[in-house]
Amino acid sequence: MKFTLLLAAASIALAAPGTKLRARDTSPLVPRSARRAKYSSHPNQRLVSLDSTTDKNDQYSGNWAGAVQIGSGYNKVKGTITVPEVSGASGAAASAWVGIDGDTCQTAILQTGISFYADGSFDAWYEWIPDYAYSFSNFDVSVGDQIYMEVDASSKTKGVAILQNLSTGQKVTHSFTNTPSTLCETNAEWIVEAFQEGGSQVDLANFGTVTFTGASASGSRGTTGPSGAQIIDISPDGGNTVQAVGSITSNSVTVKYVGN
């Protein structure tokens, strides 16, 4: 038997009017669409469901699926995904990323990842909430590529985002020095998200299955994998309809699309 509890999410400041994304790279598959304006991730819109028949803490979210470690002192998160083939209605999309904060700490997220669209195009990006996401230049992404992702915070207001295409050898980094918020370092996550674009949440594309392998988080208390992390499923209505489900092993996080 399950029950749900709506958790109130703290509001976050939006980037100042006129903030611009860098011009996004042309995908090797499909030319970039002009709709890629003011892309942003968003803190976890969380609903919690406790399953009384198991010890599992099953969480539902309006926008995240995957796993979140909750603790203290997290300053590095990493994992590797295989870029999925995506389908769906026009405008449908999703993003896969690793990050620090954004769940119990709603005021900041340091993150990097890949967005994939139903039209077959991709974006590689970095972001420090509440600023918008910015594209990496000269980083090509194709279906089947293995993408290593890492965020590393040298302090609560400085850090670096790293993406490496293990299939092509390309590697890009971005150093954050003038950041818009202060990390709490209480969350480490591996997430597939129905993100915000142009002020609205995108329809979740069918991304099949995305698995973060070699998933780990480290910091002042050492290094941990996903074991014991809170598993999150995307549901627009508190669990009655589930769109994507998360699962974990000792060193991986898997997110599976299950439909609308």
CA gyration radius for the chain? Answer: 17
Q: Which tokens go with 114?
A: 């890949």
DSSP 223-241: EE-STTPEEEEE-TTTTSS
Q: Is 189 a catalytic residue?
A: no
Handedness of CA 213, 190, 210, 49 (dihedral sign): positive
DSSP 14-49: PPPTT--PPPPPPPSSSPPPTT--SEE-----EEEE
| Spatial CA neighbour of 224 closest among 189, 182, 197 | 189
- Tell me if the bond preceding 130 is cis, omega within 30° of 0: yes
Catalytically annotated residue among 150, 185, 189, 193: 193
Burial annotation 75-112 (CB, 10 A radius, 16+ → b, else e): bbbbbbbbbbebebeebbbbbbbbbbbbbbbbbbbbbb
| Spatial CA neighbour of 96 closest among 80, 109, 107 | 80
For the chain, give me the number of helices (H) and strands (E)? 0, 21
Q: Known catalytic residues?
A: 193
